[in-house]
Amino acid sequence: MALALLVGVAVLVVVAVMAAAGYVIDRDAARRERKR
C-alpha cells in the first residue's frame, strides 16, 4: 500500500513538472505567433 502511494506520488510529480514545462513553452510560442 505504501509502495503504491509512493509510486503514485512520484508519477504525479513528474507529470506535473512535464505539464508545467509544456505549458510555458507553448504559451511562449503562442505569444510569438500573435506578434508575427
Partner 1 sequence: MNLAHLHLLLNHVPTVGFAVGLCLFLVALIQKDKKVQRVSLGILFAVAVLCIPAYLSGVAASEIMQDRPGISTELMAAHQDAALSAFALMELTGGLAWLALWQFRRSAQAARPVLVAIVFLSVGSFALMAQAANLGGGIRHPEIVSLGEAAAAAPVINTAWLKAASLRSFVNDTDWVWPACEAIHFIGLGLAFGVVLLLNLRMLGLMKAVAFADLHRTLPWGMLGFGVNLVTGMLFFTGVPEQYTNNAPFQWKIVCLVLLGANLIYFTSLGDPWHVDAGGDAPRSAKIMAASTILLWLGVVYFGRMLPYLGGSY
Partner 2 sequence: MWLEGSGPSTWLRESQSLMAFPLVLALHTVGLGLVVGCTSVVSLRILGGASSIPLKPLEKFFSIMWIGFAVNAVSGVMLFAKEATTVGISVVFWVKMTLIALAMWAVTRIKTKVFDDPLIDTHPIPGNVRALALASILLWAAAITAGRLLAYVGPTQPEAGIIFGSQ
Residues of the shown chain interacting with partner 1 in the complex, contacts defined by CB under 8 A: 3, 6-7, 10-11, 14-15, 18, 21-22, 25-26, 28-29, 32-33, 35-36
d(CA 28, CA 31) in angstroms, rounded, equals 5
Q: What is the Rg, in whole angstroms, of the alpha carbon atoms belonging to the chain?
A: 16
Q: Which residues bind partner 2 (CB under 8 A)?
A: 1, 3-4, 7-8, 11-12, 15, 22-23, 26, 30, 33
Distance CA 36, CA 15 (A): 32
CB of 35 to partner 2, least distance (A): 14
